Structure 1
Amino acid sequence: MKKMAIFVSILILISGVAGAYDTLSAYSVSQSFDFGENYYNVDGSPDISATIIGSNEFDRGQTITLNIDLMNNGKLFGFENDRTPEDADEIYGAQTEMKLESAVVDATGIVASLSADPGSPIEVKSVSQRIGSIKSGQNSLSPAKFDIKIDKNAKTGEYNLYLNLSYDYQKNVQVMGPDATAQTYDVNRWYGMMVQNQTLKIIVKDQADFEIVSTTGSLFPGGEEVLIIEIKNTGEEEAKNVKVIANPSDPLSTTDSVAFISTMTPGSTAVAKIKIKADSEAVSKVYGIDTVVRYETLEGDIKYSNTLQVPVEVKEAGLFQRLFGWI
């Protein structure tokens, strides 16, 4: 049997975007494609859907790798007879063309990109990526992965992400020089490009958030003071078993860095007391003490707030402190 010879002619075109799933509005036909030799025109195309793997609910301030599964739901709707075969070779050619035309539902060379609305608190940090090919009825071999960052000040609620997919697909096939006896033929393929857009939704969850309302207390070099720190729950969720943890750095220090607070409902304030000492060589100025809030969610999960800055002033030593030291 003579070895099969395959001749492929490829034409790729970019279409405009019209909706969530866009079909091509126009093509330029390859010069090597002879419609007079075409047996069938096929009706069908790929159709890729996207789904976020796992939960789509996140906390503000998080950086997440979003895994997106792609599935090709392409459908072949039928064939339209373009030319009737007249002899054994043409019948073989027509049968071969019909088999090859079924690949119209397969997507090849998929490129995916993700974007957010202008001004959105969601930042997409990943560039476009190549996914490969997906046959109809199959999923991508591996998910598309996009890193996103949620602003720490994002409001609770639902946000849109826009997945753009572009890929090639086989628009039409022409079988030339079919030889039924030798079972050989040449083939000319006409390719196009399809663009699809899909909106994915992520949710920024209700959660407790905290801010420093005020700080009472000041220090002198070499002195020690109990700071009274007023904290407010500015979030949407109750925080249980709250602990305020201070982490001062030179020239400030503490021997008791944790203050216990019970429960803080949304909008409520509470007072934490932390004993702070200033080194004798401390320069007089306002210092910031790194502080975090440890709390339990309503579900019992342990969470930590973003680092909060607690201001504390070290004052210049007066005559009394210079003469008698700190009492």
Structure 2
Amino acid sequence: MKRKFVIAFLAASLLVSAIPVAGYTTSNPDIRTVTPDATLQPGGVNELAFQLVNDPDGPDDEVRTATNVRVRPGNAGPIDVETNELYLQSLADGVPADRSLRLNVPSDIDSGTYRIPLRLTYEFDNGASNTVERRTTIHLPVRIESGPRFSVVDTDSTATVNGQGTLDVTMRNVGDSLARDSTLALSTSTPDVRLGSSESSTRFVDTWEQGENRTFEFETTLGDSATAGNYSLDAQIDYEKPDGTTGSTPSLTVPLRALPEMTFSVSNVESSLRVGETRTLSGTVTNTGPMPADAAVVNFADPGPTVTPIETSVAVGSLAPGESADFSFDTEVTTAGSAGLRQFDLSVVYYDQDDRQRESDAIPTRVDVAPESPEFDVAPVNATFEAGSGDEFSVTVTNTRDYAVSDVSAKIYADAPLSTSDDEAFIDRLEPGESREIVFQLGAGGSATAKTYPVKMDFQYDDDGGDTIISNTYQVPVDVTERTSGGPPVVPIVAVALVVAVGGFVYYRRRD
């Protein structure tokens, strides 16, 4: 009897627990979305904020907590969802969870309502101490309103690394209405790129028709730390709709391609430079790109006081990428200059595609400067004199230059015991390698010691460019031998001439 009572009591207890209390139920999780502002702006990435709510069916219902909630959003037509997955550890009854999605909305999307699918996976306790996993799909509604919308159609850049140029941005109104009083703001977030002299620049359009393209030009500067390749700039357009309301696009991406720095290598360098002479430095300049160089000029930077280019610039014309041209500089190396390997800096000044004058970096060019060589080879022909005698002093002069010289005036300088009564000679022209004999008058004093004495000689001449040059000083050996005849010492030629002149002067005065 007692056993039957216990069984009846347990059955009654189970029946009571199965009967819900009036006005109160417990239900499984029911996850929904709430979007405060579901309007998207076409033409860029939108950050859409929304809420996930575990919502009961009625105000007095209780909903079980969802745990390990995973949200995998999917694309909705042309709207590309850039967020891969969202995660919530738990979503309790009536406690909203704030989340957001990155939505890339094309500029040419049609207006209307779109539904973003959200694939949910979550777990919950079913009330019988069992964990249940559920998979379902809900949707997040979004709106595309009518009005102007903008798309980047094309860009073209002429800016090079460590240089300036222009960025042309072409944009189109792809919306379904015109835009008024539109302002395009372009900005950069990298220090390697400047728009003019600042980080941003704006352009204004009073009326922008539906389907119309507009091209905007921006001055662009790339720093020396920039690298060739692609950079991204940010653009935004504020506008007014035909009904007077205003709008603004999301951030638009504008690509900028940084071109490599303009470079020129100099090749085939040939140098005939020599100390004390005006010779030629020549070579070939090549535009190694990436853009044409118009009206190019090769400049010879100031090489210092001992090297003087006759002309410091040589025009080589316009050079397409990969095109070459020859150049040549007539250059004087003074006698104070030094022989050996020398480095000179060349550069190229040119006009770019924007008709802006630019100059390349210095192009180091190494050449060999030959040591100074005598202009003439001087060899004595008759250069032996007996002490106390005088005679013709003959010298053979050879032009060692590779060009003809003209109006050659030779002069000798004699020190005691040597003397001269005729110290100059003249040659009208000497071809390269040609030799001519010139004659002076020279005498040796009677008391001269028998040995070799130097006679100094220099030349004044005109080179092949018409410049008058004073040569270095040459020394010609003269041999003086002992006297072979007796008698008083022979008076040097100059002294004899002086005595004769004085005597004649006295004679004529006495006659008068």
- Give the TM-score, by structure 1 length: 0.54
Give the corresponding residue for 2:89. Answer: 129
| Equivalent position to 1:46, from 15, 24, 27 | 27
Superposed displacement of residue 72, structure 1: 1.4
Q: 1:159 to 1:275 in 2, by over 3 A?
A: same
Give the corresponding residue for 1:109. Answer: 65
Higher mean Cα deviation, 262-271 or 217-226? 217-226
Give the corresponding residue for 1:210. Answer: 151
Task: Tell me the matched-pair count.
Answer: 239
Secondary structure of the 1:271 match is strand
Query: Is 1:242 the equivalent of 2:199?
Result: no
Give the corresponding residue for 1:61. Answer: 45
Q: 1:320 to 1:262 in 2, by over 3 A?
A: farther
Superposed displacement of residue 258, structure 1: 2.7
Superposed displacement of residue 143, structure 1: 0.3
AA aligned to 1:306 is L
Secondary structure of the 1:61 match is strand
Are the aligned partners of 1:289 and 1:312 in contact in 2 as well (CA < 8 Å)? no
Which protein has greater RCO, CA pairs closer than 8 Å, 6+ apart? 1
Secondary structure of the 1:38 match is helix
Q: 1:276 to 1:200 in 2, by over 3 A?
A: closer
| Equivalent position to 1:161, from 118, 127, 135 | 118
Superposed displacement of residue 114, structure 1: 2.5
Q: 1:125-204 maps to which residues of 2 (within 5 A)?
A: 125-132=85-92, 134=93, 140=94, 142-151=95-104, 153=106, 157-164=114-121, 166-170=123-127, 190=128, 195=134, 197=136, 199-203=138-142
Give the corresponding residue for 1:294. Answer: 237
RMSD: 4.4
> Residues of 1 paired with 2:232 and 2:13: CA distance?
81
> 1:84-122 CA distances to partner (integer Å, 9 max, x unpaired)?
xxxxxxxxxxxxxxxxxxxxx633333344232379833
Give the corresponding residue for 2:172. Answer: 232
Q: 1:237 to 1:52 in 2, by over 3 A?
A: farther
AA aligned to 2:140 is K
Query: Is 1:276 the equivalent of 2:220?
Result: yes
Secondary structure of the 1:73 match is coil
Structure 1: unaligned runs, 5 residues or longer = 1-33, 77-104, 135-139, 171-189
Structure with bigger strand share is: 2
Superposed displacement of residue 252, structure 1: 5.8
> Residues of 2 paired with 1:304 and 1:220: CA distance?
29
Secondary structure of the 2:37 match is coil
Q: 1:285 to 1:297 in 2, by over 3 A?
A: same
Give the corresponding residue for 1:82. Answer: none
AA aligned to 2:158 is S
AA aligned to 2:40 is F
| Equivalent position to 1:307, from 238, 253, 273 | 253
Superposed displacement of residue 213, structure 1: 1.4
**CA radius of gyration, larger in:** 2
AA aligned to 1:301 is G
Are the aligned partners of 1:295 and 1:304 in contact in 2 as well (CA < 8 Å)? no
Query: Is 1:259 the equivalent of 2:203?
Result: yes
Q: 1:264 to 1:310 in 2, by over 3 A?
A: farther
Superposed displacement of residue 54, structure 1: 1.7
Superposed displacement of residue 158, structure 1: 3.0
